[in-house]
Amino acid sequence: MPKPLTIAFYSPVSGNGSSLLALNLFEYYRSFCESENYVLLDCDISYPTLRYYLEVGEAHTTDVYAEMPHILREKCILCKVCEKACHFGAIRISGSINQVTFVEKKCIACGACLNTCRHAAIVPRDHKIGKYMVSELEEKTFLIDAGQDVPERFHVPVIQAMKAKAMNYSFVIIDAKPGLSAESLESIYDADLLIMVADARSFAGMHCNTILPDLKKLTAKQSILINRCAGKPVHVHEYAIQHNIPIIYEMPFDEKFQLTGMNGEIAVKKQTDYLSAFDTIASNIEKILNS
Amino acid sequence: MSAIAFTGGRGNEGLSALLSAFGMLAGTSVLAECTFTYSRLLRLMDPQNVRKRPVPSIPRFNFDADRCSHCFKCLDICKHNAIMRYGDLIHYAEHRCTACGSCIRWCPLSVLQFEYDDDVLLSYAESRYGPLLYTDSIVDALHQPAMTSVILEQARQMMNVRKIHQLHIRLPRGQGEAAAIAASSADAVVIVTAPYPYALADLKSLVLFSRKCGHLPLVLINKVHPSNIILTDVLNTYCQGEGIPVAGKIPYDPLFPEAEQLGLSVIEYDSATNCTSAVKEAWINISQRIANIT
């Protein structure tokens, strides 16, 4: 199966409006561009946003598993090697009661303990670490998001599983988690095009300078979309020219667009005013992908 | 001494703008910024005299590409998909690595090594509101609980040394372990919400979260506008039903982004408008509540 076209919307800080733009672009592609099927991937596990804007149909849930240690007490000689190997304090050996205890809540399923035991007293056992849902929105259109109850330490493997699932579709838009931590990097990893949403405020130039170089290794192509533009965001332009990164579009600050979003509506669907903006965005995306 | 924890939700509730205004109204206070993403609030606070100190972190990997013989054994060994093959090259996706050490044990040439990095830095700074504590290093979810504890411990020490009586904690995003550590250590939790379609679901889960941390929260509804009056009412009714006090309703106003553009809090930018008087009133309500608790 060929790899799908993957576009990731990313923002270094939350509140730049990248989810709303991702939703609108998705709606635009779904209505006007030919593809076998379309999938929207919400990688912000702590706060899934997209489902609140969409009519979500029946969901198909898939559990995600990882290997955690299972300790065979009869084989354990209390040598404490595994306790030392665990960076997260999930294995404790108490000398006074001659007992080894495993604290599942602290385990990140890294496998360090499994490697170190020389007495075959630790064996791997599958534990459920989270789940993700594939929901049908309309014909050939799907949303993939995860359960909010996935512990933060398992976000990276759960996002990996969601992305592996998305590879079965032909057109993918990812709404990444904001920030620069491992979960955010995992959400954009290996995308065909990164759209960094910069807002036009005074420090957006700094974001471009410090963040985009880090992200260049992770995605095939990068671009910037300036949101809520008032005046000319000089810093962002300077950066874009210097590093040869295209600016896809400058979205003006538009109270109506913001308030439509606040009311849970997708502007492109409700009002034709915004179609020309997304026409331009889509054609610029095509240019970048073909270059 | 009192500590107030502030939390938003997804991040577009306008918490940074409000916190900068509260900082202005509170007089001198210590701010512990525990969000681990680039912070809008810090830009507004304009940190001065920044000093940085390394915080011990867990080991990371060092991969010596020059000595690698490309046997690709590590590819099968790593079960976190952190090592990949592109043609004849090894690609190491650092963000997936958990430092379990499997690859190190198996690497025949020992080109994979542990190293302890000290690039996680805690920053101490001064601002026009008072001392600031934060980190601008990248802290992954795995290490956020420990980092949060360090920031809070340092903030409390700073309060003692400098004789400052108020601590404002900006909670980490989400409701994970790090946020729970910070919320439990505070005297009160203030939830800032805004009438977005997901607001009620978020508010409910944040109320549950702060109850688990031992607090009946105080709620602030931001970005109220005639077009979202129905959603605002839904939020308000929910709070009344649960017996949760609403500290204020702040109107949606382009004044907030305008002030932010200039790096000012809304109070400094224009102190005589509807929205600033709503912010002031909200702050009075929050302070009264804190005074009752402590």
pLDDT > 70: what percent of chain A? 95
Give B 228-247 residues with CB within 8 A of chain A: 228, 231
Six-digit token pair at A174? 């990812």
Which structure tokens are listed for A248?
A: 């896809």
B1 to chain A, minimum CA–CA distance in Å? Answer: 31
Strands A122-138 and A141-146 turn out to be antiparallel
- Nearest CA to B80 out of B69, B95, B70, B68 is that of B95
For residue A201, the model assigns a pLDDT of 62
Angle at B126 between CA B122 and CA B129, to 5 degrees: 120
Q: How many CB atoms lie within 10 A of CB B48?
A: 10
Tell me the CA distances in angstroms from B117 to A60, A89, B60, one per residue in order. 42, 20, 7
Count chain A–chain B contacts defined by CB atoms under 8 A.
142
CB A285 within 8 A of CB A248: yes
B93 touches chain A (CB under 8 A): yes
Residues 18-47 on B with a CB inside 8 Å of A are 36-40, 43
Report which residue type is found at A25.
L
| Gap between the Cα atoms of A111 and B107, Å rounded | 16
Mean pLDDT of A210-238: 80
**Residue A252 has which token pair?**
């003006």
Q: Determine, for residues A264 and B261 on separate chains, whether the beta-carbon distance falls below 8 Å.
A: no
Q: pLDDT averaged over chain A?
A: 87
| Tens digits of residue pLDDT in A84-124 | 888 888 999 877 777 889 999 889 999 989 988 989 999 99
- Facing residue for A183 by CB, picked from B141, B195, B197: B141
Contact A108, A88 (CB under 8 A): yes
Please report the domains of chain B, with CATH numbers, ordered by start residue: 2-56+121-293 (3.40.50.300), 60-115 (3.30.70.20)
Cβ–Cβ below 8 Å for B142 and A207: no
Contacts of B140 in chain A (CB under 8 A): 181-183
Q: Does B96 touch chain A (CB under 8 A)?
A: yes
What six digits make up the tokens of A67?
């290997």
| Chain B CB contacts of A148 below 8 Å | 205
State the smallest CA–CA distance between residue B12 and chain A in angstroms.
Answer: 4
The pTM assigned to this predicted structure is: 0.86
- CA distances, A160 to each of A43, A155, B99, B143, B189 (Å): 10, 8, 18, 20, 34
Report yes or no: B23 and B206 within 8 Å, Cβ to Cβ: no
Q: Of B37, B198, B261, which has the smallest distance from its Cβ to A179's Cβ?
A: B37
Confidence band for A205, pLDDT divided at 50, 70 and 90: low
Residue to substitute from A203, A214, A265, A270, interface B, most B β-carbons within 10 A: A203
B115 neighbors B58 (Cβ within 8 angstroms): no
Position A284 scores a pLDDT of 94
A8-45 pLDDT, tens per residue? 999 887 777 889 999 999 999 998 888 889 999 999 99
Check if B11 contacts A (Cβ < 8 Å).
yes
CATH of region A5-64+131-290, choose from 3.20.20.70, 2.40.40.20, 3.40.50.300, 3.40.50.1100: 3.40.50.300
pLDDT band at A209 (very low <50, low <70, confident <90, very high): low
Using an 8 Å Cβ cutoff, are A166 and A43 in contact? no
Token pair, residue B109, equals 């040439």
User: What are the start and end residues of each CATH 3.30.70.20 domain in chain A?
Assistant: 73-120
Compute the nearest-CA separation of A26 from chain B (Å): 19
Structure ipTM: 0.82
A109 min Cα distance to partner chain B (Å): 9
Q: Which of A156, A129, A158 is nearest to A145 (CA)?
A: A158
Say if the Cβ atoms of A52 and B198 lie within 8 Å. Answer: yes
pLDDT of the residue at A193? 94
User: How far off is chain A from B43, nearest CA to CA, in Å?
Assistant: 7
Q: What is the pLDDT of residue A188?
A: 93
All residues of chain B having their beta carbon less than 8 Å from the beta carbon of residue A67 are 79
Question: Is there a contact between B239 and B246 (Cβ–Cβ < 8 Å)?
Answer: yes
B99 with A110: Cβ contact below 8 A: yes
Question: Exposed, middle or buried, B116 (CB in 10 Å: 0-12/13-18/19+)?
Answer: exposed
**pLDDT tens digits, A56-75:** 888 999 999 999 999 998 89
Predicted pLDDT at A3: 86
Which tokens is B105 given? 């044990």
CATH fold for the domain made of A73-120: Alpha-Beta Plaits (3.30.70)
R_g over Cα of chain A: 22
Q: Does B116 touch chain A (CB under 8 A)?
A: no
